[in-house]
Amino acid sequence: MESLHPLKYISQTFEMPLAQVATELGVKRQTVNEWVGKRRRTIPDKHVSKLASIFNLDEKWFRMQNLEASEKLELQRIHVDRNATFIEYEDVFVDEEGIAHDVTSYYSPEQELSNHLYHLQNAQKVIEEVTRIIGIETDAHESYNQDIFRKVMSVINSNNHKKVRMLRDMLDYLAYRDHEFGFMTFEDDNLKTKYDDLINYYEKK
């Protein structure tokens, strides 16, 4: 099943018919059809910048030929956030001295949906990245990454909280140890020393 062209998906998500898009661009509807149809002709730069202005989106969206599922969720979330409504209500704030203050707060009914889309988007990104990494291993003898993911899932599915915590701490250490902006705090300094010794062992091999 052929996926929707990004422009067509955006027009549907942001509720602007392609006929209106053509009018806004000053081109024929047939021209737009050639961009989003089976031929998928590249959208000229002069129209890319105008489309970005019309939809108030980054130009990257209109240079794509296909959308990942996570990207579709991101576009949905952008649309929800833009059309969010806010309800004003009176609330009470208690300061550090225990004194209550009347404050005006705001609530958006769409916030829950936006948060849901955000978590779905992040989960889908993980799925896409894992699929990409595993997909590289096309040879039957090349299953190194598959084996790693399989073992990680085995630990998680074991429901052994101590093992899961150990796995998480080790992964955090490996992910943030050399990261420019990364940091990790240890409740036990001896644990960090053991991790450092372990990483030094593998770096010398």
Q: Is the pLDDT of residue 200 over 70?
A: yes
Domain assignment of residue 131, yes or no: yes
Does 63 lie in the same domain as 11?
yes
Q: How many residues does the chain have?
A: 205
Domain assignment of residue 1, yes or no: no
Does 127 lie in the same domain as 177?
no
Higher-scoring residue by pLDDT: 185, 191: 191
Domain boundary among 136, 170, 187: 136
Q: What is the pLDDT of residues 71-91, one digit of tens each?
A: 999 999 999 999 999 898 898
Which residue range forms the structural domain that includes residue 165? Answer: 143-204
Q: For 101, list phi and psi in degrees, rounded to 5.
A: -130, 140
Domain boundary among 84, 110, 136: 136
Task: Please report which residue ranges of 1-110 form alpha helices under DSSP H.
Answer: 6-13, 18-25, 29-36, 45-55, 69-82
Does 52 lie in the same domain as 87?
no
Domain boundary among 112, 136, 160: 136
Domain assignment of residue 76, yes or no: yes
Q: What is the pLDDT of residues 40-70, one digit of tens each?
A: 899 999 999 999 999 999 999 999 999 999 9
What confidence category does residue 203 fall into, taking pLDDT thresholds of 50, 70 and 90?
confident
pTM over 0.85: no
Domain assignment of residue 82, yes or no: yes
Around Cβ 60, how many Cβ atoms within 10 Å?
A: 11
Q: What is the pLDDT of residues 146-183, one digit of tens each?
A: 899 999 999 999 999 999 999 988 888 888 877 656 56
The two three-digit tokens of residue 91, written as one number:
């609330």
Does 58 lie in the same domain as 72?
no
104-140 exposure pattern, b = at least 16 Cβ within 10 A, e = fewer: eeeeeeeeeebeebeebbeebbeeeeeeeeeeeeeee
Do the beta carbons of residue 51 and residue 7 sit within 8 Å? Answer: yes
Do the beta carbons of residue 18 and residue 43 sit within 8 Å? Answer: no
- CATH number of the domain where residue 17 is located: 1.10.260.40
Helix and strand counts by DSSP (H, E) for the chain: 9, 2
Does 103 lie in the same domain as 63?
no
Total domain count, the chain: 3
State residue 121's pLDDT score: 97
Q: Is the pLDDT of residue 30 over 90?
A: yes
Does 128 lie in the same domain as 150?
no
Mean pLDDT of 117-140: 88
